[in-house]
Structure 1
Amino acid sequence: MQQLNNSNSNQLPESVIHSNYDRNQLGIGIVHLGPGAFHRAHQAVFTDNALAYGGDWGICGVSMRSKGVRDNLAEQDNLYTLAILDEQPAYQLVGAIKEVLVLGDQREQVMQRLTAATTHIVSLTVTEKGYCLNGDGLLDRTHTDVVHDLANPEQPNSAIGLLAAALQVRFEQNHKALTIISCDNLADNGSKLGKAVVAFARELNDKLADWIEANICFPNTMVDSITPATDDALKDRVAAAIQVNDNWPIQREAFSQWVIEDNFSGPRPHWEKVGVTFTHDVSGYEKAKLRLLNGSHSTLAYTGLRCGFETVSEAISHPALHKLISSMLLDEVKPSFNAPIEMDVAEYIQAILKRYANPHIRHLLAQIAWDGSQKLPFRLLGTIKDNLTKGNSIRLLSTGVAAWLHFLVNAAHQSLSITDPLADLLLTTAADCSGHDASDVTKLLAISAVFPAELVNQSQFSEAVTKAYLTLASLNPTNIESVLDRI
């Protein structure tokens, strides 16, 4: 079977969706840091669709470390297939990404793209940990990458340092028509990114920092679409559908949402014509997604793994877990924030539960469980804090926290590795826990990099987490209903 590439892209089955533009004439106007599966299933697809309305908005993907995406896509001229998995699956050929560079190997080319006058958008999906923030959401000057980059500003390793280096050149050349867009699941993501970049720049040059504050916009955004990792089964399925081999197709559910603050320093693609929402207030959408979708996702991941389930759809299909998640959403998350006036929260919750139950999406709980130390503060702890202020229940939200603590203790006791930037600290602390004692919670909640003292010192929080932790201690695949009923 042939390899997908430019020469055979027009010979694919008629059922494969193509966007209508001339890829050969397409210039690059966007640089994206972190061209992983989510970017390629989300922002790149919106951009691919918008290219039908004109503009030089091809994407240069920049991998901060990994060479996998670059090397696999290079063999097929950076084309790839999006599989939209629903009752009626669909396949789309995506050509918006024109090139992929790796910072470690191609630093000069990366800087040329970032500093080009024709580059008007820099976007990021580098995960929460890629922003090098402390517990207060500000630049962590003690972070290993930040320390390195401040000492070596022309050879940065972090996204923050790389942006500052590029902005230094743009400042000198007065190329200010640039908007930097965070697309990560981080509350106030654009604001936090902007503050971190300015704080980093100020350590080097006050005039640069002032110029960034005056000229460069960092809009807040909200992104949403469940995107499981690519596996061999997907590659086989895509090959059968498009009748050529694709090294690295990606998959997602049919639902896809992108909300962007209408705050730009320069031009942008015609995203508004292909379903992107522009607004002056992203916070309502953002909180709805972070708290309702992401918060329940993490809770389902940690409780579902303890119950012996492998995927989201398997876990949510168990009546006791479905009851836990739906009750948490309706009774504790929904009252914690003010949703946009046009949003029906109860309807949104039902849509989330339906999306979780989609049997065509094989979303691994273990994948969602990654980077818990970075995710929980935004997905659960903020909601808990607001509920305590309002006098609302935190019983079920605390169950999600307690399930994460058990996840750590189980990993430590079984000598399992976990994907988390604080893995060593978390596992060392968890190794000193029994798995069934209240003192475990005291030890784990003392990890200040995750749990702020103002929250830990509230007895309602520590008591609720302890109660849930002790209840979950006996949870296993044989007693799911009886244990969860006691939560």
Structure 2
Amino acid sequence: MPPLNRTVHPAPKRPEKVLQFGTGVLLRGLPDYFIQKANERGSFDGSIVIVKSTDGQTDEFTSQDNLYTVAVRGIQQGKAIETNTVVSAVSRVMAAQTQWNEILMLARNPHLQIIISNTTEVGLDYVEESIFQKPPMSFPAKLTAFLYERFRSVGGSKAKGMIVIPTELVTDNGLKLRDAVERLTAYNELGKLFTKWLKFHVRFCNSLVDRIVTRPTDEARQELQAEVGYTDDLLTFTEPYHLWAIEGDDRVKEMLPFADTPEIIIDEDINFYKERKLRVLNGTHTLTMPLGYLLGLETVADEMKHPLMSRFIESLMLDEIVPTVPHYDEPGMDAAAIKSFANDVLDRFRNPYLDHLLLNISMQETAKMQARNVATLQRYYEQGKGVPKRMAFGFAAYLLFMRAVREENGQFMGEISVPGGGVLTYPVRDDKAGYFYGDWQTVKDKSLTSVQTFVKSVLSDAKLWQADLNALPGFCEAVANDLHAMLTNGVESTLEKHMGAA
């Protein structure tokens, strides 16, 4: 079977208009996919130059002439979706470690107007360093060096300004990146004229990306390669749902001609879309992952196949989370849009083609719980509905998931019983793992009093939650009772009783 290349799949060369920092699957499956589709529609005629920062290896791209396949698999509005798209929009992939001078030369390209990034959440952090290193260490420093070279080559021209769209999963990612670039500009003494050009002619846009993109399993890769008739080491699996919300005005719309599809939203305020995703999709993941994993399940799709777990997820999302999400009285941003999004999310959770591992979702669970669910919990109480039973149950499962039984080489390890009498050990990958390891030492499984004391102590910790959750009437009692029942009777039997009592 031949490898994917431009002999197997001929593709036209297009002018390089987009610079992209990052080679990950999210970029390949969302922004690059959007640009590919726009090229096919004829609304955009451009290619992407990718900068790889992590190491100097670009062989996986060059060996395939920078082509790769995006396989869309899933269910949308009850219909199975299976499509394959060969993305030919990438012109070349360059290594920052070995090709930095060539990358800087790209700044002189008059066609280049758009910069996209996804460098991990900490990748936007400010690092005080010289931008004249080859290359600079941090992404903001690399970007500052590139923009400075652009400024020097165009003489401060307004027409040669740029639009920068970070896609890192950080609140106000565009503003954060702009702040880092401005601080680096001052530290490196790049001058008033560059500072002025940066302020008026380089637009940093907050953005939100929403699509689950994964690498395929070996079995899925083999099946798809047999279907298409070539091998593809960059094969990317993704779900049908895709959304890219970009904060911007009419000028931004003019500079992004590929944004001529309903799945790309350009608006001066994208907070509605951020809140909707954060609360409904991410918040549900965070409140249900511990429970699903403690039941012995491995993936989100497994949760949706489990009769009790799927009912719990639907009830939590539709009855307790959706009614709390802020909305506006206009089509597409109203209560109906939130409910429609929630139904889409349930379809996405059911997707049997994506191996969305629960243990991967568990990374930094405590910080996620605070960011995604505390405000939801408070809003529920503000609506005068009393104790949110599903949220309390999910929170109890989270506390149980955080119970480490030992420490191994600095890593805290938890344990769950599996069918047949075995024990599964899992890492508690959370900055607060040591905190919970200490507090759990005070709990005696059969003692409701010790469980209540533990829960009260955790909920009152304003450093964890930026609020005193004990102030929410009945919440501490509900969490403690659910947690004690799980410790005494087991997770599944407790969930069965919980759902039966609803």
The one-letter amino acid of 1:34's match is G
2:161 to 171, 177, 190: 177
CA distance in 2 between partners of 1:465 and 1:183 (Å) = 38
Asked if the contact 1:187–1:378 (Cα under 8 Å) also holds between the matched residues in 2, the reply is no
* 1:253-272 to 2 correspondences below 5 Å: 253-263=239-249, 264=251, 267-272=255-260
2:177 maps to 1:193: yes
SS at match of 1:338: coil
Asked if the contact 2:460–2:467 (Cα under 8 Å) also holds between the matched residues in 1, the reply is no
SS at match of 1:292: helix
Asked if the contact 1:293–1:352 (Cα under 8 Å) also holds between the matched residues in 2, the reply is yes
Q: Match of 1:328?
A: 316
The one-letter amino acid of 1:63's match is K
Instruction: Name which of structure 1's ranges 264-273 and 460-469 shifts more when overlaid on structure 2.
Output: 460-469
* 1:114-129 to 2 correspondences below 5 Å: 116-129=109-122
Q: Match of 1:102?
A: 95
Which whole-Å deviations, capped at 9, do the CAs of 1:345-397 have from their partners, x for residues lacking one? Answer: 22322221122112233322223233446644443234345546666655544
Which whole-Å deviations, capped at 9, do the CAs of 1:84-122 have from their partners, x for residues lacking one? Answer: 113242211111122223334443344444674432111
Q: Match of 2:472?
A: 460
The one-letter amino acid of 1:348's match is F
The number of residues matched between the two structures is: 452
Which whole-Å deviations, capped at 9, do the CAs of 1:164-186 have from their partners, x for residues lacking one? Answer: 33333334442652111122333
Larger gyration radius, structure 1 or structure 2: 2
Q: Match of 2:219?
A: 233
2:358 maps to 1:365: yes
Q: State TM-score, norm by structure 2.
A: 0.78
* 1:67-466 to 2 correspondences below 5 Å: 70-86=58-74, 87-113=80-106, 116-132=109-125, 146=126, 149-155=127-133, 156-173=136-153, 174=156, 177-205=161-189, 207=192, 211-263=197-249, 264=251, 267-273=255-261, 275-340=263-328, 341-343=330-332, 344=336, 345-372=338-365, 375-387=368-380, 396-397=390-391, 399-400=393-394, 402-410=396-404, 412-414=412-414, 417=427, 423=430, 425-434=431-440, 436=443, 437=451, 438-439=453-454, 442=457, 448=463, 451=464, 454-456=466-468, 459-460=471-472, 463=476
CA distance in 1 between partners of 2:105 and 2:462 (Å) = 41
Asked if the contact 1:50–1:274 (Cα under 8 Å) also holds between the matched residues in 2, the reply is no
Residue 36 to residue 88, structure 1, CA distance change in 2 (3 Å): same
Residue 428 to residue 113, structure 1, CA distance change in 2 (3 Å): farther
Residue 371 to residue 37, structure 1, CA distance change in 2 (3 Å): farther
2:27 maps to 1:39: yes
Q: Match of 2:6?
A: 6
CA distance in 2 between partners of 1:78 and 1:433 (Å) = 51
Asked if the contact 1:239–1:245 (Cα under 8 Å) also holds between the matched residues in 2, the reply is yes
SS at match of 1:380: helix
SS at match of 1:272: coil
CA distance in 1 between partners of 2:121 and 2:167 (Å) = 10
Q: State TM-score, norm by structure 1.
A: 0.80
CA distance in 2 between partners of 1:157 and 1:404 (Å) = 37
The one-letter amino acid of 1:323's match is R
Structure 1 gaps, min length 5: 11-21, 133-145
SS at match of 2:213: coil
Structure 2 gaps, min length 5: 75-79, 405-410, 415-424, 444-450
CA distance in 2 between partners of 1:366 and 1:228 (Å) = 15
CA distance in 2 between partners of 1:374 and 1:66 (Å) = 30
* 1:42 positional shift: 1.1
Asked if the contact 1:303–1:400 (Cα under 8 Å) also holds between the matched residues in 2, the reply is yes
Residue 443 to residue 397, structure 1, CA distance change in 2 (3 Å): closer
SS at match of 1:258: strand
* 1:441 positional shift: 7.4
Q: CA RMSD in A?
A: 3.5
The one-letter amino acid of 1:460's match is L
2:71 maps to 1:65: no
CA distance in 1 between partners of 2:196 and 2:470 (Å) = 40
CA distance in 2 between partners of 1:471 and 1:204 (Å) = 59
Residue 105 to residue 439, structure 1, CA distance change in 2 (3 Å): farther
Residue 237 to residue 73, structure 1, CA distance change in 2 (3 Å): farther
The one-letter amino acid of 1:150's match is E
Asked if the contact 1:312–1:357 (Cα under 8 Å) also holds between the matched residues in 2, the reply is yes
Which whole-Å deviations, capped at 9, do the CAs of 1:121-152 have from their partners, x for residues lacking one? Answer: 111223434333xxxxxxxxxxxxx4xx3134
SS at match of 2:313: helix
